[in-house]
């Protein structure tokens, strides 16, 4: 019997397989951690380029998926009536100054599924958005480029509006809300979280968590939102989050409530995804979670990391799981 990272006794054949997976992950170049868990057992935990388990990573847009979970908790706790609530409820000062009956009809669900229709504040418009004096106003002032409920317009501004809604609905900062209702019950401590000029925690980007923390979140979702005997996230919310309401025009993935989904090796995979290669993959068919974090490099904007990471995931599914 051989022990990998002091985690689990495995056979010599399995050891060779995990060594091969470790080599493939290292060869991607940008990958800094790879964790594989199945049936509540940690199969492998690899770190590269001097990274340590306790070092938090900026998980970039994988933060959106956490915001999605927090919205579900806020609805379950009675702070928000439902996903059909119009966003005008939470931004009365904006709509008093800039009345717009069409924009006022945008719902929380439209923000969750990236179907608000407003011009994106990601990619080419991201810099102007984060340099603006008021992120909420900048996001709401964007013109429509799609119909509400129509084609997906991926926008970090939509996720940020959700963060502000959580704060205004609950009376707690999004960070304090997350700590009280999600992170603390899982033993997670936030390593960092950016704020906007008005002091609202950023929705959709720049939360820092350790790879082990990401593993805890993935496991919670595979356990139908339960940690021990406590229901932290409603099971129905997880089901709704993993549905496909729309599809990106830039990739073949389905999109739910701030969570992606895709078929890999004939297996349905649900995942959080952040710029540069930050992932929480959940594979219900095999009761498995795979976490990958990566260094953000000059090539990251071209997303050249995507294909090798999904090739690696396919190898993990077909051979290790």
Whether residue 184 sits in one domain with residue 136: yes
CB 262 within 8 A of CB 252: yes
pLDDT at 5 over 80: no
Q: Provide the domain count of the chain.
A: 2
Whether residue 62 sits in one domain with residue 206: yes
Whether residue 78 sits in one domain with residue 30: no
pLDDT at 308 over 90: yes
- Hey, which residues does 290 pair with through a beta bridge? 36, 281
pLDDT at 22 over 90: yes
pLDDT given at position 93: 97
Whether residue 2 sits in one domain with residue 125: no
Whether residue 196 sits in one domain with residue 129: yes
Whether residue 178 sits in one domain with residue 30: no
pLDDT at 12 over 90: no
Q: Is there a domain that residue 219 lies in?
A: no
**Residues whose CB is less than 8 angstroms from the CB of residue 129 and which lie 6 or more positions away in sequence, other chains included:** 121, 135, 138, 139, 156, 157
pLDDT at 33 over 90: yes
Whether residue 200 sits in one domain with residue 84: yes
> Which of helix, strand or coil describes residue 12?
helix
Q: Is there a domain that residue 98 lies in?
A: yes
What token pair was written down for 123?
Answer: 């990619």
Whether residue 28 sits in one domain with residue 92: no
pLDDT given at position 8: 47
Which one has a higher pLDDT value, 229 or 162? Answer: 162
CB 193 within 8 A of CB 201: yes
User: Whole domain around residue 182: which residue ranges?
Assistant: 58-211+228-238
pLDDT given at position 10: 55
Strand segments, DSSP code E, in 200-259 are 207-209, 226-227, 230-231, 246-247, 254-255
pLDDT in tens, 142-156: 999 999 999 999 999
- Hey, which residues does 255 pair with through a beta bridge? 246, 260
Q: Is there a domain that residue 112 lies in?
A: yes
Confidence of residue 7 (pLDDT cuts 50, 70, 90): very low
What token pair was written down for 265?
Answer: 């090796």
- Hey, which residues does 261 pair with through a beta bridge? 254, 270
pLDDT given at position 311: 97
d(CA 106, CA 112): 11
pLDDT given at position 3: 33
Q: Is there a domain that residue 245 lies in?
A: no
Whether residue 150 sits in one domain with residue 18: no
CB 138 within 8 A of CB 118: no
Which of 121, 112, 111 is closest to 141 using CA atoms?
A: 121
- CATH number of the structural domain spanning residue 42: 3.30.450
Whether residue 62 sits in one domain with residue 124: yes
Q: Is there a domain that residue 251 lies in?
A: no
Whether residue 234 sits in one domain with residue 85: yes
Q: Is there a domain that residue 246 lies in?
A: no
**Residues whose CB is less than 8 angstroms from the CB of residue 300 and which lie 6 or more positions away in sequence, other chains included:** 30, 275, 276, 277, 294
Q: Is there a domain that residue 319 lies in?
A: yes
Integer CA distances (angstroms), 162 to 117, 190, 252, 292, in order = 15, 19, 25, 26
d(CA 114, CA 99): 22
pTM (2 decimals)? 0.94
What token pair was written down for 95?
Answer: 């709509």
Helix (H) or strand (E) holding 186: helix 184-186
**Residues whose CB is less than 8 angstroms from the CB of residue 2 and which lie 6 or more positions away in sequence, other chains included:** 9, 10, 11, 12, 15
pLDDT in tens, 81-129: 999 999 999 999 999 999 999 999 999 999 999 999 999 999 899 999 9
Average pLDDT score over the chain = 94
Confidence of residue 6 (pLDDT cuts 50, 70, 90): very low
Which of 275, 290, 280 is closest to 30 using CA atoms?
A: 275
pLDDT in tens, 251-306: 999 999 999 999 999 999 999 999 999 999 999 999 999 999 999 875 566 678 89
CB 121 within 8 A of CB 139: yes
What's the distance, Cα to Cα, between the start and end of the chain in Å? 19
d(CA 84, CA 81): 8
Please provide residue 54's backbone torsions phi and psi, each rounded to the nearest 5 degrees.
-85, 0
Q: Is there a domain that residue 44 lies in?
A: yes
């Amino acid at each position: 019997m051989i022990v990998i990272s002091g985690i689990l006794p495995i056979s010599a054949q399995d050891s060779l397989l995990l060594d091969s997976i470790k080599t493939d992950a290292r060869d991607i170049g940008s990958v800094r951690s790879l964790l594989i868990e199945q049936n509540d057992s940690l199969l492998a935990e690899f770190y590269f380029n001097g990274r340590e388990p306790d070092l938090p990573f900026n998980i970039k847009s994988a933060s959106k998926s956490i915001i999605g979970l927090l919205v579900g908790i806020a609805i379950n706790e009675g702070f928000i009536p439902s996903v059909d609530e119009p966003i005008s409820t939470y931004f009365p000062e904006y709509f008093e100054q800039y009345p717009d009956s069409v924009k006022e009809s945008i719902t929380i669900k439209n923000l969750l599924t990236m179907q608000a229709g407003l011009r994106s504040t990601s990619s080419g418009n991201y810099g102007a958005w984060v340099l603006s004096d008021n992120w909420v106003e900048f996001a709401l002032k964007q013109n429509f480029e799609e119909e509400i409920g129509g084609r997906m317009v991926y926008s970090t501004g939509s996720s940020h509006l959700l963060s502000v809604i959580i704060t205004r609905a609950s009376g707690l900062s999004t960070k304090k809300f997350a700590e009280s209702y999600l992170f603390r019950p899982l033993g997670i401590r936030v390593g960092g979280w950016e704020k906007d000029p008005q002091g609202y925690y950023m929705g959709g980007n720049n939360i820092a968590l350790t790879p082990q923390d990401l593993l805890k979140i993935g496991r919670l979702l595979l356990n139908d939102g339960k940690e021990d005997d406590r229901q932290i996230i409603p099971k129905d919310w997880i089901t709704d989050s993993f549905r496909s309401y729309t599809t990106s025009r830039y990739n073949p993935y389905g999109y739910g409530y701030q969570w992606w989904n895709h078929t890999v090796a004939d297996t349905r995979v649900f995942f959080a995804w952040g710029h540069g290669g930050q992932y929480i993959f959940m594979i219900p068919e095999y009761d498995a979670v795979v976490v990958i974090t990566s260094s953000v490099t000059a090539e990251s904007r071209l997303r050249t990391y995507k294909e090798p990471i999904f090739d690696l995931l396919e190898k993990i599914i077909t051979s290790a799981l």
